[in-house]
Each structure stands twice: as C-alpha cells, then as structure tokens.
Structure 1
Amino acid sequence: MTDTNKAYAGETGSLPTYQAAVDWINGLIPFGIRPGLHRIEALMERLGNPHRRLKFIHVAGTNGKGSTCAFLTSVLVKAGYDVGTFTSPYITKFTNRFQYNGQDIEEETLLALANELQPHVEAIAETELGSPTMFEVSTALAILYYAKVTYPDYVVWETGLGGRLDVTNIVFPVLSIITNIGHDHMDRLGDTLEKVAEEKAGIIKPGVPVVSAATQPEVIDVLKRVAAEKKSSLYLIGEHFGEEPREVTEEEQTFRFQGLFRSIDPIRITLSGAHQRTNAAVAVMALETLRQYNALVVDDEVLRAGMEEASWPGRLELVQRDPRILLDGAHNPEGAEMLAKTLKSTYTYEKLHVVMGMVENKNHRDTFKHILPIVDTLILTEPDYRMAMDVQQLADIVQQLRQDMGAERPFELVVEKDWKQALQTLQQITGSNELGVVTGTLYLIADARARLLYNSDSEKGW
C-alpha cells in the first residue's frame, strides 16, 4: 500500500494553474443543481466509462454521511487497503473532496484532470443536454482520479443531494449505506418523509446489500419495499444491528456493537454525541457486511484503532479551549436536535452562547425550536455565501418563535451581520466555565474554523 499521494501529469490544456482549474469548476455553479444522470453518463461515455472499474461504497442520508465515510475510510486504510474518499461540501480546501488514503489530491493532479475534462465538458455543453454542472464535473474528476491515477481497492462515495437522481448514482456499488432520513432539501426531494425516502432509496441496486440507520416506520416501509424489489439484503439498526453505550465523556465515548453476525466490545470513538455512535455502528455493520459478501479482511484490533482515530472536522469539534469553542454544522432540524441533546447530555457549562448563520432553503423555524430552549445568548449572523439567509429575517423568525413558545428560558438575542464580528463577540462573552458554539450552515463553519485555527490555506464552498 502507498501512503503518499500520486501526482498525475496529463496533457496540458487551457487551464494554466490549480487556481484556474478550481475557478473553472466553480464557474459552473450558475448552472445549478440539475437532477438527472444524462450529462454525467455522456461525460463517462466520452471517457471510456472509467467508473466501471472501481468498487464503490455508496453513502446517502440526511445527516451523518460525512462521519460514516470518515469511520469507513479510517478503518479500511488502517487495515492496509487503498481507499478513495469523495465527500461534499469541503470544510477547508477544494482538494479535501478528493482523498486517497486520507490525503488530499495534489494540486497538480487536479489541474491535469481538469484539463483532461474541460474539452469534453465544453463539447457536451454544445449539445441539447446543456453544460454539465459544477457537481457533475467534480464527480467526473473524482472518478478519473481513482480510475486513472490512484487505483484504490475501495472508493467511499458520498451522495451530493438525494440519491435516485444524484450524479453519484451513476456507479454500481458493492455496498449501499443510507445513514438516516429527515426533513432536509424537501424543496427538491419531496414534501413528506416517504417521498424523501423514495429518493434516498434510489441508490439501492439489484442484489447489492444495504445498511441503514433509518428508524421512522414510514421510512423503513419504503426501504424494505425497494430492497425487496431489487432483491437486496437490507440491514436495519434496531433490527439487525445496534450499539449500547459504555462510557461517555466530552473527549471520547465507548460502546458495544451488536451485529447480526457477531458482537464487538468495546469500540472507542472520539466524535461526540449519541448520533455519532449510530454512525459508527453503521460503519461497523457496513464492514461486517463486506466481510460476509466480499471477503473483506479487517482484524478486530485494526478495526478498533481505525474507529478511534477517525475524525471529521466541523462536527462537535472543539477548536478552542480557553474559552471553549465548539463547531457543529447543524444545518437542519435533525442536526439541531442532535446538537441540543449532546450539549445537554455530554457537556458541562454554566452558560451556553451560540452563533448561528443559515442559508435560505432550510427549515429555519424547526431548527431554531431545538436551539432556543437551551441558549443563554444567541448571536445571529450571515455566512459569507451567495445563498445566505438575511440576518434580520432570521431575527424575525426567532422573535416570532420566542412569542409562540413562550420561551422556556430568557436569552439574549444579538444580531450581527458580520460573521467575523459575531465570532469575536462569542469569544469575548464566553467565560471560563461557559461554552461557546458556532452552528448552522457548513459555509459558516468553514470560515469560523479557518479563523479560529489561523488556517490561511482555507478556501470554502461546494
């Protein structure tokens, strides 16, 4: 196995630098998110269908996709497998999205692959299909990186949006994972949980096993029906596997994994929250399923070490200790509920101060409903992002909720449009026995993380 990243020298093209390549890909953002596989299929056809040479673990769900990908990658790399990991959005740098054995793609390699892709993208743009989108080109770049440069044993492959019509669904995986299903992107995926479940279940392929953490009866009904139609074995948390907490602290937690095939006890992880034990259990069940179906070899001690070493930035991540500042990308009601539960059950503090910024197409009211009852200070701000929710509109929602809920506890509301000033205010008001939290959209988390960790190399975006 090689731990080092591999540079790739493709043909030179019209893109002269790494930054020019990133600018070209991001320049496709105005084409939006256009569900459907026609453009990516045309692109893959022109490239010789390189995705057919790879073994994918396809991960969909509302929350927990990134953490589950991190657990899987960490264990597989620890076990000696070469692993590609494709995730979105990125927290620090565009190259974060394309990893090989936990390392970002090299800038020169990304540039070479972008130059290889550009003429094909432009040719398709001239047809009735129209221009491939930013996410379609990023997905194609990932496939080229794994199929032509690094040749991993497995590719951990995160969906972008939904599942059925998501660009990533062009692949035929060895295993499908649906972490959970909740109220997110309902403007695009459907206005009921059943409709959202139908879209997520679109990644289930004939005969390919599925592991899921979904718990709602109406969602489980959809998953069971689709799995039966596709003759796929479905492994559900609570029915075929589960986790039992052993010890939980702010720094780490241990649990017992109980699976259909066997139990593993204890497993230790450093990610906080009961939901991360769920994500970890899903990852372990996925590995156990691959052991049964694909003769995957992972020693128990290696599995334990890989799970413990797994990290995922911006999810209940303690980035500062004096004062304590946590980052958590809780950008929908389910995420906010998990954050609130974890803060109450795992962390000790005299006062809680929270900075929040959101994007427009989210369920703001139901997200705030979980946050307002627990805060002492709520600082609303605007992320530096084209779809940022106006801070005054957010404040109006909070004030209305305050009246409707008869606020279980009084809290101070601060409206600060400038996210840098909001972050500074949080640091100033958070005392030694108190806790500061930055939450909401990952676009805010990315900027706050870069600033708090003095990371000058930070980019940000899709």
Structure 2
Amino acid sequence: MFTNYNDAVEWIHSRLKFGIKPGLKRMEWMMERLGNPEKKIPIIHIAGTNGKGSTVSYLQNIFTEAGYKVGTFTSPYIEVFNERISLDGEPISDDEMVALVNEIKPLSEQLAETEFNSPTEFEVITAMAFYYFGVVNPPDIIILETGLGGKFDSTNIVEPILSIITNVGFDHMAILGDTIEEIAGEKAGIIKENAPVITGVSNEKALAVIQRIAEEKNVSLFALDNDIKITESSLKDNQELFSIFTPFNNYKDVVLTMRGEHQLRNASLAVTAIDYLQSENMFPLTEENMRTGLEKTSWKGRFETMSKDPLIIIDGAHNIEGVESLVDVVNRHYEDRKIHILFSALADKDFKPMIERLTAIATSMAFTTFDFPRAASAVDLYDACPIEDKRYYVSWEEALEKFIQCNDDVYIVTGSLYFISGVRGYLMK
C-alpha cells in the first residue's frame, strides 16, 4: 500500500518498461473485476492525430458552463501528472491519486500472473480513470481522449454516446501503419454502433475510410467541410471570430480566445457535438453556455503566451500537422515581426520536415535537448536545419536564458510536449 504520492506515481511510471502493447484483453480483464465502471457514465470518445486536447477542452468548458459535472481523461500532462484525470478542468488531488493506485496495483499484479501479462503504464492510468469516474466520484459525462490510435487503444472498451475523430496525419507510424488509409482505419476503430461520429478529417483518402466504417456500423457521420461549414472567419482584438453552419443550427460571430484556423476547426467539432446532443434531448444547455464556454477555453502549451515583454509563446507542435498549424497562426497574427524559434523533439519523430517547415517563418532557430529517454540530441536537430542563423545548446535552461532577448521580436518555444512541459514549469517560476 502506498501512503506517499511520489511513490505511487513512481510505481505508475515503472510500468513504462512494459512499452506499448496494443490490444484490449488486459483492459477488459481489469474492468470486469472492477464491475465495469466504464459502462456507468455517458462518454464522448475522441481520437485524432492533433486537436484532441483542444476539442476535449472546448466541450468540458461548455458543459461546465451549463452546470454539468464533467470528467476528462487526457494525455500527456503539461504541469502535473494528475491533470490526466480531471473534474471540471481541475486535476484530481494527490490523495485521490494514491487511493487509485492502491486500488489498481493489486489488480495489475494479479493480471501479470495470467496469460495476458502485465498492464502497460497507459492501461494502468486508464483503469484508474474509469474506476475514479465510475465508482469514486461519478460525473454527469466523461470526455475521453484516446492515447494512441483508436482500435486497440486501451480506452476503446467503452460504448460512447458520440465519437469524434479530429483529424488524421502521419504520426506513430511504427504502430499505426505507413499509409494515411491504415492510420485512418486505426482511428476509426473508435466508431461504434448507436454512436454517431463527427470528424474534422480533410484528407480525402482518410475520410473515405471513416465514411466506409461509419456505413458498416450504420451510424450517422457529420464531416467538417461537408455537413459542417465554417462560413466566415476574421481576427478581432487578437481573438478569432467565426461563423459556423452545422446540420442542426447556424451561429454567427462565435469568439475564440485560442488562436489559429485549426482552432476554428476543433471548436466546430465541439459545437456540432453539442448540437447533436441537443437534437437528442441529451444534456440540455443554452447557446449562451456554448458561446461562453468556447470563449473561456484555453489549453496549456498550445500557442500559449508565457510573457508579453519580451513576447514568449510556447506550443507543443510535435508532428508535421502541429507545425503546419503553428506556422498558420504565426502568419495570421505576427506576419510583420521577427520570429525566433527554440525547438526540441523526440528522436523517433520525423523531425527534419518539421524543422524545414519552421524555417519558413523563422528569422533564427535554436535547438536543444531535454531529459527524456527518447529525446533527440541538440546536434542532430541542428544538423537537420537548412538556415544559416542557427545555434544549439545542450541545456535547455541555458538555451532559454541566451536565446531570449529583451526586444520587440517574437520568441517561440516548440516541439515535443514533454519538452514544452518542462519549459512551461520553468517559465512559470
């Protein structure tokens, strides 16, 4: 039994050695013994290469604004581990985390003795979340983010009221497949009978896969750019202003604090989800709740301003789609400013095209590494950069100190979310 929070979290992290083991048998085994808590609360299930966290956050804020108690399960965390299991946007307490570990650890040890072997770190955290929301502190609704892919993701034992697939891009290809169709098939694995699916996928080949699976499951599909349309967008007081047409309704002049065209897309999926639920008389709320919830939404580490003078922005753009979104936001909001970028990434990511894309907006680039088993070296990142005005630092703390100057330029720290998490904590201090 654990009494200490750090020991409990260390035990969870010790499961990392079991790697990623796609498949649902271990989760089903654990859930059965806990009385299937994942079946007790209505769930919205969200998959996608990018945009999952923002979409979760939009929905959570809208429901919270309407007075509902909302559970969220997300990954990775940015500030504290407990963020992964949150109620109304607030991470669960350290004591609750310890109690959950004490509940799941014996189960994990029993499972290790079976033919299924030990659960992975992510399976343990997922089991903790289901037990917390299903037994310990039940919310009105859970917004559940997949960890990786969809079909064999440990969250995919649920029967949701609605599924959302934000987008499909090339990420985690060693596990999810080499083609956009294969990856889309994995993400579309979350589509279940009796639960309509909403998607922001724009790639035609990926969308065709999702359409086919929705037809096989005999569920309605609402696709952005087809059934859902962003009819106009502009910038107002450094915020995004847009109008949206869904299959259920029409909204003018919706305001977002989160910036970038990709955020209009994420918010549109959330709005359509709310509209669908209203059409089914589920979770009634007002248009005012929805508009206020959207405007209040911010998401740590996603184009987040950490300092205004000098202007320092952090953004967890950890794949090519994320980088494209970052470039779009910079071009929308800071096209007349000099941009300096500090970048770090995981070695198993295809970072060369990411760096090349960032050079399109960068006046200068700096590279660094961070304390993580799979982090790329600063030198490898530096060597992959084609521009002349570049440098590298072995220590990211030193990089921050030397890279940022007190002037009117824009300083963007981006790359792996694990890296951004450390930088954010450091800048907050």
Matches within 5 A, 1:99-248: 99-248=86-235
Deviation at 1:246?
A: 3.7
Give distance in 1, aligned partners of 2:174 and 2:259: 30
Residue of 403, 411, 416 corresponding to 2:393: 416
2:358 is matched by which residue type in structure 1? I
Q: Decide which moves more: 247-256 or 334-343.
A: 247-256
Give distance in 1, aligned partners of 2:9 and 2:270: 32
Give distance in 2, aligned partners of 1:250 and 1:264: 20
Give distance in 1, aligned partners of 2:85 and 2:163: 20
Deviation at 1:207?
A: 2.2
2:156 is matched by which residue type in structure 1? N
The answer as to 2:243 corresponding to 1:256 is yes
1:244 is matched by which residue type in structure 2? T
Deviation at 1:188?
A: 1.0
Deviations 1:309-368 (A, max 9, x none): 111000110011110000011111111111112101212553111000000221212212
Q: 2:299 — aligned with what?
A: 312
Deviation at 1:24?
A: 0.7
Q: Secondary structure at the match of 1:374?
A: coil
Deviation at 1:300?
A: 0.7
Give distance in 2, aligned partners of 1:243 and 1:153: 30
Distance 1:423 1:349, change over 3 A: farther
Q: 2:344 — aligned with what?
A: 357
The answer as to 2:407 corresponding to 1:432 is yes
Q: 1:298 — aligned with what?
A: 285
Q: Decide which moves more: 246-255 or 436-445.
A: 246-255
Deviations 1:350-400 (A, max 9, x none): 3111000000221212212210122111111102211101222222222xx
Deviations 1:265-303 (A, max 9, x none): 121110011000110011101111111235331201111
Give distance in 1, aligned partners of 2:407 and 2:40: 54
Equivalenced residues, count: 429
Distance 1:294 1:386, change over 3 A: farther
Deviations 1:32-91 (A, max 9, x none): 111111111111111111111111100000000000000000000111111101000000
Q: 1:405 — aligned with what?
A: none
Give distance in 2, aligned partners of 1:94 and 1:350: 36
Give distance in 1, aligned partners of 2:229 and 2:403: 38
1:425 is matched by which residue type in structure 2? K
Give distance in 1, aligned partners of 2:381 and 2:314: 20
Q: Secondary structure at the match of 1:197?
A: helix
Deviation at 1:244?
A: 3.2
Q: 1:72 — aligned with what?
A: 59
Give distance in 1, aligned partners of 2:281 and 2:26: 31
Deviation at 1:249?
A: 4.8
Q: Is the CA contact 1:100–1:150 (under 8 Å) kept in the aligned structure 2? A: no
Deviations 1:89-121 (A, max 9, x none): 000001111111111101111111110111110
Deviations 1:109-154 (A, max 9, x none): 1111110111110010111211101100000000111011221111
Give distance in 2, aligned partners of 1:250 and 1:336: 24
Deviation at 1:250?
A: 6.9
Deviation at 1:196?
A: 0.2
Give distance in 2, aligned partners of 1:319 and 1:24: 32
1:327 is matched by which residue type in structure 2? I
Cα RMSD for the two superposed structures: 1.2
Q: Secondary structure at the match of 2:394?
A: strand
Q: Is the CA contact 2:69–2:88 (under 8 Å) kept in the aligned structure 1? A: yes
TM-score scaled by length of structure 1: 0.91
List runs of 5+ in structure 1 lacking aligned partners: 1-13, 403-409, 455-462
Give distance in 2, aligned partners of 1:276 and 1:181: 15
Q: Secondary structure at the match of 1:34?
A: coil
Q: 1:406 — aligned with what?
A: none
Give distance in 2, aligned partners of 1:249 and 1:346: 11
Q: Secondary structure at the match of 1:373?
A: coil
The answer as to 2:337 corresponding to 1:345 is no
Q: Decide which moves more: 411-420 or 129-138.
A: 411-420
Deviation at 1:247?
A: 2.9
Work out the percentage of aligned pairs sharing the same amino acid: 40
Q: Is the CA contact 1:375–1:411 (under 8 Å) kept in the aligned structure 2? A: no
TM-score scaled by length of structure 2: 0.98
Q: 1:444 — aligned with what?
A: 419
Deviation at 1:415?
A: 1.1
Deviation at 1:230?
A: 0.3
Give distance in 2, aligned partners of 1:213 and 1:432: 39
